[in-house]
Structure 1
Amino acid sequence: MPTHRSKSEKHAAAKLLRRDPYEVLSVSRNSTDQEIKSAYRRMALKYHPDKNANDPEAADMFKEVTFSYNILSDPDKRRQYDAAGFEAVDSGSQELELDLSSLGAVNTMFAALFSKLGVPIKTTVSATVLEEALNGVITLRPLPLGQPISKKVEKQSAHFYAVTITEEEARAGFVCRVQSSDKSKFKEESVKTGKITSAGMYFLGFPVYRLDQTMTSMAAAKDPDAAFFKKLDGFQPCEITELKAGTHFFAVYGDNFFKSANYTIEALCAAPYREEKEYLRAVEAQILTKRVEISKFESEYREVLAQFTEMTSRYAQEMQAIDELLKQRNEIHASYTSAPPMKRSTSKSKNKGSFKEAKEEDEVREKRSTTRDRSKKKKWYNIHLKVDKRKPC
């Protein structure tokens, strides 16, 4: 008879069969973020369910590729895995990148609901859009430098733009930025100012950093202190720091759940912004220095916090002990002025007895005094007088 295994046994067996994420994505351990991302997109497109209908092996491979990328794309989880393997990574909290185009209407509604509630849900570009881009079956719109273009992109669709820069413009630096008046989320780092959300890609000839705040927001929900110390962990260098002269392609993808998104895209040459470039380089260098300082400060803070917690606990205990001793002292003082009821009744009976005895003694004394007086009167009135009763006085 075939043996039936419980869910826990099957889960444990699945853990044993998990492959090394680097092996799954066919990358080395010292691969850059861009190399890992490129490998993931290539394999995700190969095994995507849209292209492999009714193929369970491809579906399993797609899940394994996604699971491996979720580990290696997160700097913190990648360090944990490199140090101690899968045991150090909480697989239950792994974020999955969802392809909204592959979800049904009901699942899309649930995903939108969770996103509204503040649950971070990563979404990936539709496999159809990626395949069209790789095969060159797309419509290219020209994007002249310094001329903003405003459009509306439908959900799970993309607009592609072609930007041509000269050798001089390439050396000076290049910026492509997008703004949206809707509550949009950009794949790149974005900033919300009032009702406008903006994001940019900067190619300035030196390392430019982006700030991924996803893991910071998740850490904040669990531990505000941890969120503070991890705030700069998501400060990572962009994969490409400069563009060569020629034509480059940019895309705006409609990542909304249900509706289209209005946006404005603009390409700029960074030549007029020389001071801004130098200021950006100096500020980012200070942020990197601060990240090292915060990392060292965390151990000191944790140590002092542990001592503070211990002292606070002792403070509460000592305060309780002092209050108890003072309470006992007050009770002792009060016992001198208000004796217990039984003792008061005993002393009262004793007082009554003493009063009775004193009264009896007074009566005896009075009797003795009366007797003495009578004896004296007898002696006084016992004088023998001869009275002739026949003669009146």
Structure 2
Amino acid sequence: MMPGHRSKSEKHEGGEKQLRRDPYEVLGVLRNSTDQEIKTAYRKMALKYHPDKNANDPKAADMFKEVTFSYNILSDPDKRRQYDSAGFEAVESDNQELELDLSSLGAVNTMFAALFSKLGVPIKTTVSASVLEEALNGLVTIRPLPLGHYVSKRVEKQCAHFYSVTITEEEARAGFVCRVQSSDKSKFKLLYFDQEDNGGLSLALQEDSAKTGKVTSAGMFFLGFPVYRLDQTMNSIAAAKDPDTSFFRKLDGFQPCELNELKAGTHVFAVYGDNFFKSANYTIEALCAAPFSEEKENLRSIEAQILSKRAEISKFEAEYREVLAQFSEMTSRYAHEIQSIDELLKHRNEIHASYTITPFKRSTSKSRSKSSSKENKEDGQTREKRSTRDRPKKKKWYNIHLRVDKRKAC
């Protein structure tokens, strides 16, 4: 077992430091445990310490939080790698998202959760502890679901409808699909249960519904080869932090399903109402994959391409980050050079201005001297005009009156 890592915030009780326990130790699994083993261990412990079953027991409540916190680290491949390499410091323990049991939230908290969900905040929900306990104790009603037939029902919020599907050896080899959809876009979970020796049922797989066109849908594929699911919640959280991180983490949620095939016999599925306030309408159908040989090959091919692309993007990220750092350095220098040039030109223009622009005082005195000389000139002209008017007018030669004898002929 790996020793407990020291977290960012250490609790102090009675003067002694309490460290967070190693998540592998909390869940009772090995460091090389598979995703399915981790998930199975979590669900058993979460059911054991769930607040619904341990009312007024603070130790059970603390244990439930610790189990959920540990699972949130180990169920995320990226956070699990970070924890394995550097401990709690690397996984940003203060920002872990939790899976909420809506049946235990109460009206007010459920309203807040519904509001955040409407605003696009990804909220993981878990199946109600009461439903899991009834299934484990064999107290649920199971309806038969024949292959090739569909059933349409309405399930109440935080409740489940159980169905049994029986397949032959030939059908098991050909592959099997169970699918559910809701035409009114209700939220639901598709569940698959393992049958225990005592006749009870333990949750083994779950798929959350997702919007697909005008409906919400979920499906489980048991085709005899690895089939993958894409967890969009991881990418939504990354997108809120950084668009670049969102792109490079887009395929991190592309993980293999825990089961690839089912053996011949009877298997139990359930549809769980995951709406906050209302019931969920749904249609469930079980199909043999034999008629879909071309679709199976296409699925195998496209998922292989996605895995190849994920490896390619992982290598590309390092190159991109390096070039981006250089680009940031160049743009920073570009802005600095622009500022430097502008300051030099501004200083140069100020020096030029000191020579080319006449000082304000000098121009004022000059204008005053010009105006005074003009006034003196105007005064001189006025006096000259006045003296001219005062002198007697001389008769000009063309104003001389000539005496003309009218009697003489001209």
Same fold (TM over 0.5): yes
- Aligned to 2:121, the other structure's residue is in SS state coil
Cα offset, 1:340, TM superposition: 2.2
Q: Which of the two has higher C-alpha Rg? A: 1
Deviation at residue 143 of structure 1 after TM alignment: 1.0
Q: Rate the CA distance shift 1:189–1:58 in 2: closer, same or farther, 3 A.
A: closer
Letter in 2 for 1:28: L
Cross-structure match for 2:263? 244
Query: Which residue of 2 is the match for residue 216 of structure 1?
Result: 235
Query: Hey, what's the Cα distance between the residues in 2 that align with 1:243 and 1:83?
Result: 36
Structure 1 position 122 matched with structure 2 position 124: yes
* SS of 2:163 mapped into structure 1: strand
Aligned partner of 2:43 in structure 1 is 41
TM-score by length of structure 2 reads 0.79
**111, 114, 125: which is aligned to 1:112?**
114
- Amino acid of the residue matched to residue 107 of structure 2? A
Q: 1:170-249 maps to which residues of 2 (within 5 A)? A: 170-180=172-182, 181-184=184-187, 186=189, 188=207, 190-249=209-268
Deviation for aligned residue 1:41: 1.0
Note if 1:164 corresponds to 2:166.
yes
Shift of 1:331: 4.4
Closer/same/farther in 2, CA of residues 14 and 80 from structure 1, 3 Å limit: farther
Q: 1:239 to 1:75 in 2, by over 3 A?
A: same
Correspondence 1:323 to 2:326: no
Give the equivalent residue in structure 2 for 1:309: 328
- How many angstroms does 1:333 deviate by? 4.7
Which of 85, 95, 98 lines up with 1:96 in the alignment?
A: 98
Unaligned stretches of 5+ residues in structure 1: 1-6, 356-393
* Distance in 2 (alpha carbons) for counterparts of 1:114 and 1:238: 29
Alpha-carbon separation, structure 2, partners of 1:196 and 1:233? 25
- SS of the residue aligned with 1:161? strand
One-letter identity of the residue aligned with 1:214: T
Q: Work out whether residues 189 and 210 of structure 1, in 8 Å CA contact, stay in contact via their aligned partners in 2.
A: no
The AA in structure 2 aligned to 1:210 is R
Aligned residues: percent identity? 78
Deviation at 1:131, TM superposition (A): 1.2
Given residue 227 of structure 2, which amino acid in structure 1 is its aligned partner? V
What is the CA distance between 1:336 and its match in structure 2? 5.0
Across the aligned residues of Structure 1 and Structure 2, the Cα RMSD in angstroms comes to 2.5
Shift of 1:110: 2.1
1: CA distance, partners of 2:317 / 2:71: 29
1:292-371 maps to which residues of 2 (within 5 A)? 292-344=311-363
SS in 2 for 1:221: helix
In 2, Cα distance between equivalents of 1:172 and 1:14: 60
Q: Which runs of 5+ in 2 are unaligned?
A: 1-8, 190-205, 374-410
1:373-388 map, 5 Å: none
Q: Contact (CA 8 Å) 1:189, 1:211: kept in 2 or not?
A: no
Contact 1:189 1:212 in 2 (8 A): no
Q: Distance in 1 between matches of 2:307 and 2:360?
A: 78
Structure 1 residues 93, 85: closer, same or farther in 2, change over 3 A? same
Residue in 2 aligned with 1:25?
A: 27
Q: What is the match of residue 254 of structure 1?
A: 273
Asked whether the 8 Å contact 1:254–1:260 carries over to 2, the reply is: yes
Q: Please report how far the alpha carbon of residue 14 of structure 1 lies from its aligned counterpart in structure 2 after TM superposition.
A: 9.1
CA distance in 2, matches of 1:28, 1:109: 39
- Rounded to whole Å, the distance in 2 between the matches of 1:319 and 1:312 is 11
SS at match of 2:207: coil
In the superposition, relative to structure 1, how do residues 317 and 306 fare at CA in structure 2: closer, same or farther (>3 Å)?
A: same
Code of the residue aligned with 1:306 in structure 2: it is A
In 2: Cα distance, 1:79 partner to 1:329 partner: 59
**Matched residue of 1:192: which SS?**
strand
One-letter amino acid of the structure 1 residue matched with residue 268 of structure 2: F
- Pairing partner for 1:264 from 264, 283, 286: 283
Q: How many residues align?
A: 347
Instruction: Name the SS of the counterpart of 2:12 in structure 1.
Output: helix
CA–CA distance in 2 between the matches of 1:192 and 1:91? 30
How far 1:329 moved relative to its partner?
4.0
CA change 1:9–1:24 in 2 (3 A) is closer
Deviation at 1:15, TM superposition (A): 7.3
Q: Deviations over 1:68-103 (max 9, x none)?
A: 111111112111111111121222211111112222
**Cα drift, residue 220 of structure 1:** 0.3
Per-residue displacement from partner, 1:188-231 (whole Å, max 9, x unpaired)?
26442332111111111000010111111011011010010011
Change (3 A) 1:57 1:217: same
* 1:387 corresponds to: none
CA distance in 2, matches of 1:123, 1:252: 14
TM-score, structure 1 normalization: 0.82
- Kindly provide the amino acid, as one letter, of the partner of residue 76 in structure 1: D
Distance 2:115 2:226 in 1: 38
Bigger shift: residues 69-78 or 214-223: 69-78
User: Match for 1:35: what amino acid?
Assistant: E
Equivalent pair of 1:202/1:241 in contact (CA under 8 Å): yes
